[in-house]
Structures are given as C-alpha cells and as structure tokens.
Structure 1
Amino acid sequence: MLDVSKNAVGFNLKQLRTTKGLTLDQLASQSELTRGYISLVERGLKTPSVNALLRLAAALDVNVTYLFDPNPTPAPRYTLFRQNEQNAPIQEDGFDLIALAASRTRKMMEPFVIRPPLKSAPRASHAGEEFLFVISGKMAIKFEDEEIILAKGDCLYFAGETPHWVRSIGKTKADVLLIVSATSPQKP
C-alpha cells in the first residue's frame, strides 16, 4: 500500500531533486515556490498543497504521483482504489487530500478526494484544467469577483490558471472529487 505521509513525500522530493542535480534555489525558481517552503516539505515539516505538488512535479518533469511513490510497480491497464484500503489523508492548511490513482503512471488526470477546510484555503492556480464534483456536503469556490456555492451532486469545470479559493460550508467538511488535468501525459 502507498505511504502518502508528508515524510514520504518530502523524502521522495529531496531524493528526486538531488538525483536531478538541482539545488533548493533552482527548484524554487522552476516551481515558483520559495526555497524555505520546499525545505520544510523535504524535511517533513510541511505538507504540500495540491497546487504545490503540481508545481513541484512540473518543475521536476514527473507525474505528481512519483512524489508519493517513486518506484511504483508497473501498472496494469487500470488502477483500482478501494475505500477500505486507503491510507490516512494528507492534511495541509485544513485540507484533507486523498490521492486516488497514485500508482498509475503516465496519466493525463490527477484524481483526488479533497475535504476543503471550513474557512477559506490559500489561493490556488496551476496549469491545466480542474473538475470538482461534490460527493457530500456543501462547498464554496471563490474566483476574483465571484463566489459559487456547490452542493451534493453539483460539479464545476474550469481553467486551473484561474486563481481560486475553496472552503467547505456548514459544520462538517464537504467530500469533493477533484480531477486536475495535465496538458499532456506526464513522465513516470
């Protein structure tokens, strides 16, 4: 089973960065993240957001799931995720994040289940497109000058480059299927 702890992600990130011969400053420049932030992630002191994972993977020219498991077994023609086999979600800034197809390499979509925080999460924007489908609860997504409320069964598709903030509405966090697309298949 996949270890998605922040320590595993940080360890895998550092291994990949050093294997590629990149300094923290070079990776920070390429990913548009700060050197300090990346250092905290590598040391397991900070869990990267979805946005940060996408930026780091793009800068390192790998699939996001490589950061979770750099040595996946060759994937069959499908990847199966069973609810009862999941690890604890990664938690960052009030978000819960579960990678759904982490063992699949060379894919054009990155599927997750997210549980947005009850207060607004940090602003996100990234390359590609984004699809949200509310499984349970209610959530709000705010663009620069507009806020959209989504309830169970609602979905929203938009350009990931559009700056956006999300939050759950109510007393419990919403469960939301998040699919982020890449512009082309990422390398394993």
Structure 2
Amino acid sequence: MTKKSPELSNEQIGKSIRRRRKALGKTLVQVADEAELTVGFISQVERGICAPSLSSFMRIASSLNTSLEQLLNVSESFEPLTKAKHRQSYSLGEAGRWYEKLGPGFSGALFYPCIIHRPPGHVSEHMNHKGEVFCYLIEGELEYHLGDAVHHMVAGDSIHHDTTQKHFSKVVSDTETVELWVSSHPITGH
C-alpha cells in the first residue's frame, strides 16, 4: 500500500510558486500567459487562497522552468520501474485530495501517469489546454463534463479526449474516487 505523504498547505504551495517566479524575474502575467491560466488564478494560488489541480500545477511548473516535484520538494527519480511500496505520493493542499506518482520513468517523457484520490463532492477546476488525457475510474463515481456533454462514470469506465475541449469533473459517489490518469505534458515555448 502506498503511504500518503504529509499534506502541504495552500499557503506553502503558493509561497513556493511565488519564490520561484520571483527568482526567475517573471511577472504574474507572464506565468499566466505561458501556463494558459488567468492572472487572477495564479495570484490566488500564490496567496494560498486555492490549490491548483495537478494539470494546472504542471503547467505553472513548466512556465517556471521546473517540475512540480521541485516545487513540492518531492524527490524526482527517473526509473523505468516504480515499485508499489516505493511509489511517491503528495497532496496539493486540499484535504482528501492526493496523488500517487506513477512516472515519468525518464527525463523528457511525453506522458505523466498518476493515481488521484478525491473526496466525495470534490469538483475539479474548469479547464482547457493543449494536450490529451486518459482517465480510468478504479473506484467511485464521477460526473465528467466534456464540452456540452455530461458523462456519468462508474468504476471500470474510461474517458480519453483532446484537452482543448473545456472539461471538469465532480465526484458524485459517497466514497472517495480512485482515478488512474495519463496526461500529456503541456507543450510550451521553453
């Protein structure tokens, strides 16, 4: 069983992002433009008002020429095999939402696989960005909004789509969801 690492508060995550942004001499506008997010959202993250989703956090880290592991002080190991008992996990500051790192197994990998655990009622941020994503629902139930369509997902269902389409999901089960995600890293000009 994977051991969950201590949760970082939204404030700690925000301070880490702000520290890195300032060290690079970048403005909120530059980071927002490069990450394809709003200035208001980046500002709220830096002030600890909210925590970004994994996808948004990856885009912020990319715009800051770093990895989310470095921003979260999680060790970054590039090994082709990840043993279950050595799997790294981390939280992005919201109680009940945590991630198990399944890869990447090498520097420059094109896909980022992880398992996400979300509590009942959790609603992901609304997003659209370059790339693609695949989700396999291991446990629980989701309401997955993709464009104008709403898909009800139960354990065993999967969805795979172009992430330029607006999308978000909501946990509708009374128990946490366990979701296997494989997403492409956002492509930026770096």
TM-score, normalised on structure 1? Answer: 0.75
1:141 touches 1:149 (CA, 8 Å); kept in 2?
yes
Distance in structure 2 (CA, Å) of the matches to 1:74 and 1:121: 28
1:65 touches 1:103 (CA, 8 Å); kept in 2?
no
The residue aligned with 1:22 is 26
1:133 touches 1:178 (CA, 8 Å); kept in 2?
yes
Please provide the CA RMSD for this pair: 3.5
The residue aligned with 1:152 is 155
Which of structure 1's runs of 4+ aligned residues deviate more than 6 A?
none
The residue aligned with 1:52 is 56
> Which deviations, in whole Å up to 9, do the C-alpha atoms of 1:104-142 show, x marking residues without a partner?
653322233332652644322222110101111121212
Distance in structure 1 (CA, Å) of the matches to 2:82 and 2:129: 25
Name the amino acid aligned to 2:111: M
Distance in structure 2 (CA, Å) of the matches to 1:28 and 1:4: 25
Number of residues of Structure 1 aligned to a counterpart in Structure 2: 184
Q: Percent identity?
A: 23
The counterpart of 2:14, out of the listed 10, 28, 34, is: 10
How much does 1:171 deviate?
Answer: 1.7
Long gaps (5+) in structure 2: none
Change (3 A) 1:8 1:162: same
Change (3 A) 1:99 1:14: farther
Change (3 A) 1:137 1:4: same
Alignment of 1:41-120 (within 5 A): 41-69=45-73, 72=75, 75-82=78-85, 86-87=89-90, 89-92=91-94, 96-101=97-102, 105-114=107-116, 115=118, 118=121, 120=123
The counterpart of 2:167, out of the listed 140, 161, 164, is: 164
Distance in structure 2 (CA, Å) of the matches to 1:61 and 1:12: 13
